[in-house]
Structure 1
Amino acid sequence: MALLIAPALVVSASADAKDWSGWNIHVVDYPVSHGMEAFAAEVSEKTDGRLTSKVFHGGVLGSQPDAIEQTRLGIINFGVFSLGPMGQAVPEANVVSLPFIFKGVDQMHRLMDGEAGAAIGEGLAEKGIVALGYYDAGARSFYNSKKPINSPDDVAGLKVRVMNNDLFVGMVDSMGGNATPMAFGEVYTALQTGIVDGAENNPPSYESTNHFEVAGFYSMSEHLIIPECLCMSKRTWDELSAEDQAIVQEAATNSVTLQRKLWAEREEASMSKLRDAGVQINTIDDKSKFQAAMEPVYAQFLEANPELSDLVQLMRSSD
């Protein structure tokens, strides 16, 4: 969707006119990118061109840590950020990186649109960032070259590549597997040569990297479901009138609906390709055994972050 950029003479004609910059790490043709463009276009349309935006895709405005800091300062006005890395600065955001904290994507949507999302939003606000809504970034599941995974016992003994994060290392170790942190670009060869037996990722990543060619068992564990936040600088937000804040929030809510729809379509297209390629896909309807196996991971996290126990309990007990 094309941005509606107001001509310079219109901007100069109104003291209230603003030109915003938006940060995005993803390529132009991506569900997040389309959601952001729709957000920018709706805000421009409903403010009669007073609030116009240019979304800079592909991380051209800098890395996520740099962009978050620039958003806090009001240099970048809005962006879509993964809550995973944001957890380093906002403890509340780190809760979504706990393995199996969500039972599924639908439940994640409900929690992030409700109390859990509000609690994380409060933590972000304290750091100068307003959470307008939460985009879908998919669910990461296990894949390997040996067998289907239906329970934690099936992970035992497997060498599994994970991201370089203590939470994810602990996740695999708690199930008896051998966690192997490794750069993402090395995973295909590592699977092909047997350095690792498996890895984990969302369907589009598993499919687009051709990892399914060397690891043909895909088990829908959905152990990590880390949403992305459509965020605005609090400095930018506070400059808006109550009427414009309402317009911005409505546009954000609409963009969330669009982005989630586009993400679901993208995932289904990947799953269709995987099925056509003969990948053995299995679902895991009851994740309670996996969640129980994560107790050591949760205990360590809560020991370091006792103030987050209520939020963790809210999310774990929700249906």
Structure 2
Amino acid sequence: MKKLFTLAVLMIFAAANTATADSKIFNLKLQSYYGTNMLSAEKAFAAAVAKNSNNSIKIAVYSGGELVPSSQILNAVKTGTIDMGRGMGHHFTESKIGSVESGLPMAWTSADEAQAIYEKYGLKNIIAKEYKELGVKYLGPVWAAPYHFLGKRPITSINTMRSMKVRAVGASAKMLKKVGVNPVNVPVEDIYLSLTTGQIDGVLYGSAFEYKETKFYEGARFFNNTPVLDPIVDTLVINQKVWNEFSAEQQKIVQEAADVLRWSYYKWIAAEDKKTLNELFKNTTTNFSDADLKEMTKAALNVWNDEAGKSPRNKAAIELIKKAAKDSGRL
């Protein structure tokens, strides 16, 4: 009996060793477009994948520009120069729907609303089809930072901005023009000097924490707590060939980790924003009225419609966003 037990144990170990020998080990490179001090979510994602796959999938994380220019992340993932990438759709010139994916002004004003639009209303499926045609596997959105105003004096309403020089660019600048604000286009590298010398009165750039990191708060101390967009949305993609080589179990592990990553960065930035508000902007925060929010959302419709005209897929995506805004009472 003892010999039979020993033989059985040996057979089990032999089978386990054979399975391990036959299993492919993946050593992958993931590049984000964030700097080295903002990669905690990506590193947690890599650690979770390694742990849950018994180290059959190991992911090395790289910061923005470390391997390829951030604007080239999508193409680099497609060609296999890197295996995975966290980028932003509107940086990818290959994608017609990139700006819609990243978030148009007033498209969603909370992470829960973004989650509903992507999942319940179906935006995620539309985006996935776009990336499939572009030759990569879409693992889903990643909620990034919200998009707020910061002013040298309180920005309490649309009307207060009509007498201010506010730095804004792109779709947000178009929306502001529709409500009678004349935004000014200042390069990112010139924002700090423009604020501290009074060349501009305010800026639309990012979240409270980002205003701390950039030191823009040294030139403007009044924070508007109502987002023009919350959150900005990043994208996580993986090389299609690598994805196809995963087992079904490995695909499940990576996808589940990606779904966690979607929220982990946002929760981190939200905690940092809360600390920053208490530290730098306490008693200086303001909010827009519901009437102003509706006015801005209606103005944003012009921007949404411009994007809708770029492709049938964009049109379908914008219709979902419009429906969600109506359902929430913002339109």
TM-score bracket relative to the smaller structure: 0.7 to 0.9
Aligned-residue CA RMSD (Å): 2.3
- Following superposition, the deviation at residue 142 of structure 1 comes to 1.4
Q: What does residue 34 of structure 1 align with?
A: 40
- Alpha-carbon distance in 1 for matches of 2:264, 2:27: 24
Contact 1:71 1:78 in 2 (8 A): yes
* CA 15–303 in structure 1, closer or farther in 2 if over 3 Å, else same: closer
Question: Structure 1 runs of 4+ off > 6 angstroms?
Answer: none
Q: Which structure 1 segments of 5+ residues have no match?
A: 1-11
Q: Does residue 227 of structure 2 align to residue 219 of structure 1?
A: no
TM-score by length of 2: 0.82
Letter in 1 for 2:31: W
Task: Pick the aligned partner of 2:33 from 25, 29, 48.
Answer: 25
Q: Which structure 2 segments of 5+ residues have no match?
A: 1-19
- Alpha-carbon distance in 2 for matches of 1:47, 1:299: 44
Task: Pick the aligned partner of 2:243 from 222, 225, 237.
Answer: 237
* CA 273–14 in structure 1, closer or farther in 2 if over 3 Å, else same: farther
* CA 300–66 in structure 1, closer or farther in 2 if over 3 Å, else same: closer
Structure whose residues are more often strand by fraction: 1
Q: What does residue 147 of structure 1 align with?
A: 154
- Following superposition, the deviation at residue 172 of structure 1 comes to 2.3
Q: What does residue 61 of structure 1 align with?
A: 67
- Following superposition, the deviation at residue 216 of structure 1 comes to 2.5
- Following superposition, the deviation at residue 97 of structure 1 comes to 3.6
Task: Pick the aligned partner of 1:180 from 178, 181, 184.
Answer: 184
- Following superposition, the deviation at residue 229 of structure 1 comes to 1.5
Q: What does residue 194 of structure 2 align with?
A: 190
Q: Does residue 177 of structure 2 align to residue 199 of structure 1?
A: no
- Following superposition, the deviation at residue 306 of structure 1 comes to 5.1
Q: What does residue 317 of structure 1 align with?
A: 323
Q: What does residue 89 of structure 2 align with?
A: 83
Contact 1:140 1:222 in 2 (8 A): yes
- Alpha-carbon distance in 2 for matches of 1:313, 1:285: 26
TM-score by length of 1: 0.85
Letter in 1 for 2:132: A
- Following superposition, the deviation at residue 83 of structure 1 comes to 2.6
Letter in 1 for 2:233: P
Structure number with greater Rg is 2
User: What percentage of residue pairs aligned between the two structures are identical?
Assistant: 21
* CA 256–293 in structure 1, closer or farther in 2 if over 3 Å, else same: closer
* CA 214–133 in structure 1, closer or farther in 2 if over 3 Å, else same: same
Q: What does residue 74 of structure 1 align with?
A: 80
- Alpha-carbon distance in 2 for matches of 1:218, 1:305: 37
- Alpha-carbon distance in 2 for matches of 1:47, 1:120: 27
Q: What does residue 128 of structure 1 align with?
A: 135
Contact 1:93 1:123 in 2 (8 A): no
- Alpha-carbon distance in 2 for matches of 1:41, 1:283: 39
Contact 2:175 2:296 in 1 (8 A): no
Identify which range, 52-61 or 294-303, moves more after superposition: 294-303
Question: Residue by residue, what CA displacement relative to the aligned partner does 1:52-88 show, whole Å, maximum 9, x if unpaired?
Answer: 12111243112112222110112211121123313x3
Task: Pick the aligned partner of 1:170 from 162, 174, 197.
Answer: 174
* CA 57–303 in structure 1, closer or farther in 2 if over 3 Å, else same: closer
Q: What does residue 3 of structure 2 align with?
A: none
Identify which range, 153-162 or 68-77, moves more after superposition: 153-162
Contact 2:126 2:313 in 1 (8 A): no
